[in-house]
């Protein structure tokens, strides 16, 4: 891990294998390692145009899968921090994605934002993404221990979807 918190510096997919989902698979792997470390990560910036498209697509799918899961529960709320712990993404990347998609709206008279979710839109996007790119990494198959230095703190991993039930943003 870099000092700046980058979980990935560069992805190179050879031309014959481009547009087959390997870039997103490597992105997913980098976030799986971030989750395993218990520290959110982000790609090295600035991103190229294609890099931003690939990452934004990955971020959107990861966030939408969580929102879809939460929206199917009754009276459930989720926080940006909970999404970060569940995905391994930084809060900044999550907020950037939600703002780009027009899903964060300022609440009148208060300093909080509300997450406005169109469940059908999210469900449609997730289904389409799963069809288009079915390659996924099975986290249970990862056998890796993070390299820890003296004084390094590892955040507690969420135990499951139960951690997503308390938070600031209503879905």
Catalytic residues: 44
Q: Which long-range contacts (CB under 8 A, 24 or more apart) does 22-29 make?
A: 22/135, 23/54, 24/54, 24/57, 24/58, 24/133, 24/135, 25/135, 25/136, 25/137, 27/54, 27/55, 27/58, 28/58, 28/136, 28/137, 29/137
CA 5 to chain centre: 15
77-78 and 6-8 strand pairing: unpaired
């Amino acid at each position: 891990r870099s000092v700046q918190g980058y979980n990935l510096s560069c992805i190179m997919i050879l031309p014959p294998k481009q547009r087959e989902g390997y870039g997103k698979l490597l992105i997913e792997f980098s976030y799986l390692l971030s989750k395993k470390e218990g520290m959110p990560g982000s790609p090295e910036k600035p991103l190229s145009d294609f890099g931003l498209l690939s990452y934004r697509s990955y971020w959107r799918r990861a966030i939408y899968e969580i929102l879809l899961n939460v929206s199917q529960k009754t009276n459930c709320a989720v926080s940006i921090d909970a999404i970060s712990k569940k995905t391994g993404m930084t809060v900044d990347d999550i907020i950037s994605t939600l703002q780009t998609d027009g899903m964060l709206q300022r609440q009148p008279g208060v300093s909080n934002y509300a997450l406005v979710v169109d469940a059908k839109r999210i469900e449609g996007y997730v289904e389409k993404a799963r069809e288009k790119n079915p390659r996924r990494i099975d986290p249970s198959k990862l056998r890796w221990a993070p390299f820890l230095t003296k004084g390094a703190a590892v955040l507690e991993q969420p135990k499951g979807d139960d951690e997503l039930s308390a938070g600031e943003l209503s879905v």
